[in-house]
Amino acid sequence: MSRLDSVIDRLMAQRACLDAAAAAVSSVPGPVLELGLGNGRTYDHLRARLPGRRIFVFERQVNAHPDCIPPDEDLFLGDFMDHLPEAMLRIGEPAALVHADIGTGDKQASMALAATIGSAVVDLMASGGLLLADQPFGDRRLAPAALPDGVKPGRYHMFRKTDA
Ligand code: SAM
């Protein structure tokens, strides 16, 4: 697989997972959390797929396309761990969907970041809500959820929060 093939494969898998997750949380009340705004591609996609849902964004430094910058009141600017532990005070209700697209080119560092933020992320989720992520997360309250057809295992990760 060429590097171009790999990028296309990754983005198609990401879009398929976002679409599947958005449909799967249609009956779960609550906002959406986007961890990692980047250039705003997935934020924009979630806005389109989940109109009417408030989307809170966590990002260290905003470098997004001008059309994809969240309003100040929905942005947690800074390191994830500067805000996640206290975020419920502002968010006000458990999240139906968390999308964590947090990876850099450094696989070990990205997995370590997921391990660091995992518990605080799950604390913010509604029971029955989904965590969709580019990294594996491990938490006793998370059960693996099926990926959409055509998405290779390990390409993306989807979990449902249980009552455990
Ligand atoms: N979902 C985005 C998109 O579609 O354009 C791409 C997100 S990019 C892969 C990851 C983002 O996570 C980067 O913008 C980076 O600044 C942010 N990030 C990584 N580690 C972070 C941390 N510890 N705290 C806050 N933001 C972080």
Q: Would the pTM count as exceeding 0.85? A: yes
Our mutation pick for probing the ligand 1 site, out of 41, 59, 67, 117, counting the most ligand atoms within 8 A of Cβ, is 59
Residue identifier of the C-alpha nearest atom 24 of ligand 1: 79
Ligand 1 pocket residues where CB is under 6 Å: 36-42, 59-61, 79-80, 101-103, 113
Residue boundaries of the structural domains of the chain: 3-161
pLDDT digits (tens, 9 = 90+) for 61-99: 999 999 999 999 999 999 999 999 999 999 999 999 999
CATH code reported for the domain at 3-161 = 3.40.50.150
Q: How many whole angstroms from 77 Cα to the centroid of ligand 1?
A: 11
Long-range CB contact pairs, 159-163, < 8 A, 24+: 159/130, 159/131, 159/133, 160/128, 160/129, 160/130, 160/131, 161/122, 161/125, 161/126, 161/127, 161/128, 161/129, 161/130, 161/131, 162/127, 163/127
